[in-house]
Structure 1
């Protein structure tokens, strides 16, 4: 896959996620390429199969909907750290 100007960023994320980037598209119903859910799953830093596992039996649109409504684990962790820092400051101010 030629990632052109995004190659460096894709490579960094491959190192962070410890797996290769899946192909970004797949053949759609009419043969035209459409966004591939495993690629979105990988972009979000989720484990392979988190939403795309065959045993879940989710159609592509449901997979993309679930991923689109999800939160990246890194974002959630950062938000929690910020909230915990604010809580600690608040507790110190009222102590």
Structure 2
């Protein structure tokens, strides 16, 4: 059961993504030198990557966030490839 107090208006979206991924959302923030800061593990989860895909690599948090920020969400990449392949297939049929 999703904690509406924790996620507020985002609770339904968090619950759907937890269900899709089959694992609970990690803490969205972690302690930092100047208060709370974004958790790289939460970003990894939001992108739908396997747990630890980037965060279990022995690199700094900054490097983890950079890698995640420069990455592609797998579901978006799959949708883009499917669209491109369907368009390529259609254009070949039209040429023939």
Counterpart position of 1:79: 80
Deviation at 1:34, TM superposition (A): 0.4
Give the structure, 1 or 2, with the largest relative contact order (CA under 8 Å, sep 6 or more). 1
Give the TM-score, by structure 1 length: 0.94
1:1-95 to 2 correspondence within 5 Å?
A: 2-30=6-34, 32-53=35-56, 56-95=57-96
Deviation at 1:14, TM superposition (A): 0.2
CA distance in 2 between counterparts of 1:22 and 1:70 reads 19
SS at match of 1:48: coil
Give the TM-score, by structure 2 length: 0.93
Structure 1 residue ranges, 4+ long, deviating more than 3 angstroms after superposition: none
RMSD, aligned CA: 0.9
1:52-88 Cα offsets, whole Å, 9 max, x none, are 00xx211100000000000000000000011001101
Q: How many residues align?
A: 92
CA distance in 2 between counterparts of 1:17 and 1:75 reads 15
CA distance in 1 between counterparts of 2:11 and 2:53 reads 25
> Could you list the runs of 5+ residues in structure 2 that have no partner in the other structure?
none
> Could you list the runs of 5+ residues in structure 1 that have no partner in the other structure?
none
